[in-house]
């Protein structure tokens, strides 16, 4: 209850879909900066805290890892709003670096370093039975020492109960895997792996790989870029509630196609990318398997975090 007395709220830093974010500092140590994220509580949840907000806290408080944003404190303000005190990470996010093609130059070793940090974050979430469910470059914040930190656990939830029906309307469309686009109600960590693969692809080509305008368009882009899901390459797919694919069907793209588009990641990098973008979630690589891939130890070695490019 005294938690809010420990922080002083400053100027507004930004506005997100379900929160306003303010700069803050410790009352007793004004040089210790924090970000205070004030969750907009939906009217329907007046008697308590918004379920999304509760989820964000639970998962964040339990997950302590160098590549996951740390939650320093939680308190509710007099207007019933929920305030999350987070590590202050003012150096922007991966999306800003990817987009600044003229100002920020980076190469294969840098991509390998960023992907290593993202993969370790997701491995840690999944080991702890947490799905992130909204991995995208804009949710990968950059710390002063170059460390990339996974943020925005608003949609995170535990998957400890595999039979619980889950909503398929999660994950920003461009990073959403085919099983969710087809309305699957039981899904796994594989949903995050697909998003990780698309972050990898985007780091290499510096533009979103599959930027659909609608869900139907997104499915069409997946069929074009990867291949058309069918009972041969994904047993059971045609039974999913919203399974529809465009005619004529496309065969699954081969290695040469990926080498042509993502060749700068090297053959091992392309191999790993292909395994993250397998249509059938049961065949898709897991975070643990990703960490065992030979790409990490092949040349070039990942850039040291202190030497990674930063926003100009």
Interface with ligand ADP, residue 261, by CB under 6 A? no
Nearest Cα to Cα of residue 192 among 201, 182, 205, 180: 180
Residue with tokens 């470059």: 137
Interface with ligand ADP, residue 152, by CB under 6 A? yes
Interface with ligand ADP, residue 252, by CB under 6 A? no
Nearer to ligand ADP, 15 or 145 (CB): 15
Nearest Cα to Cα of residue 80 among 58, 48, 51: 48
Strand stretches in the chain, DSSP E: 7-15, 19-26, 29-39, 71-76, 82-87, 130-131, 140-142, 148-150, 157-158
Find the catalytic residue in 134, 152, 192, 271.
134
CA 224 distance to own-chain centroid: 23
Interface with ligand ADP, residue 182, by CB under 6 A? no
Residue with tokens 């804009």: 138
Smallest distance from the beta carbon of 20 to ligand ADP, in angstroms?
7
Exactly one of 3, 10, 16, 77 binds ligand ADP (CB under 6 A); which one? 16
Q: Is 28 annotated as catalytic?
A: no
Which 68-97 residues touch ligand ADP, going by CB under 6 A? 86-90
Residue with tokens 């999304």: 52
Nearer to ligand ADP, 12 or 283 (CB): 12
Exactly one of 17, 46, 160, 214 binds ligand ADP (CB under 6 A); which one? 17
Nearest Cα to Cα of residue 83 among 134, 17, 25, 9: 9
Nearer to ligand ADP, 17 or 160 (CB): 17
Rounded Cα distance, 50 and 125, in Å = 22
User: Residues in contact with ligand ADP, total (CB under 6 A)?
Assistant: 16
Nearer to ligand ADP, 86 or 222 (CB): 86
Nearer to ligand ADP, 172 or 261 (CB): 172
Judging by DSSP bridges, how do beta strands 157-158 and 82-87 pair with one another?
A: unpaired
Exactly one of 61, 81, 128, 138 binds ligand ADP (CB under 6 A); which one? 138
Q: Where on the chain is the footprint of ligand ADP (CB under 6 A)?
A: 13-17, 19, 21, 35, 86-90, 138, 141, 152
């Amino acid at each position: 209850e005294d938690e809010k007395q420990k922080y002083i709220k400053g100027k507004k830093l930004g506005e997100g879909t379900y929160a306003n974010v303010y700069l803050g500092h410790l009352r007793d140590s004004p040089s210790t900066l924090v970000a205070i994220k004030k969750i907009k509580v939906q009217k329907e949840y007046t008697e308590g805290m918004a379920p999304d907000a509760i989820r964000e806290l639970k998962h964040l408080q339990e997950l302590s890892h160098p590549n996951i944003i740390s939650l320093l404190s939680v308190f509710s303000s007099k207007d019933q709003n929920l305030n999350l005190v987070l590590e202050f990470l003012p150096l922007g996010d991966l999306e800003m670096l990817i987009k600044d093609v003229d100002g920020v130059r980076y190469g294969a070793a840098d991509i390998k370093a960023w992907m290593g940090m993202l993969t370790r974050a997701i491995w840690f979430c999944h080991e702890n039975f947490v799905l992130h469910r909204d991995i995208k470059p804009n949710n990968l914040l950059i710390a002063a020492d170059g460390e990339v930190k996974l943020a925005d656990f608003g949609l995170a939830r535990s998957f400890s109960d595999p039979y619980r029906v889950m909503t398929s309307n999660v994950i920003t469309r461009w990073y959403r895997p085919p099983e969710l686009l087809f309305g699957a109600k039981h899904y796994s960590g594989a949903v995050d792996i697909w998003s990780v693969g698309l972050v990898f692809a985007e780091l290499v080509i510096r533009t979103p790989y599959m930027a659909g305008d609608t869900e139907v368009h997104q499915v069409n882009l997946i069929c074009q870029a990867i291949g058309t899901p069918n009972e041969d390459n994904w047993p059971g797919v045609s039974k999913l509630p919203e399974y529809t694919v465009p005619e004529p069907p496309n065969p699954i793209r081969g290695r040469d196609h990926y080498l042509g588009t993502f060749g700068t990641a090297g053959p091992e990098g392309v191999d790993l990318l292909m395994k993250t973008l397998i249509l059938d979630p049961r065949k898709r690589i897991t975070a643990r398997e990703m960490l065992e891939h030979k790409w990490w130890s092949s040349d070039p070695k990942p850039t040291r975090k202190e030497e990674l490019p930063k926003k100009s």
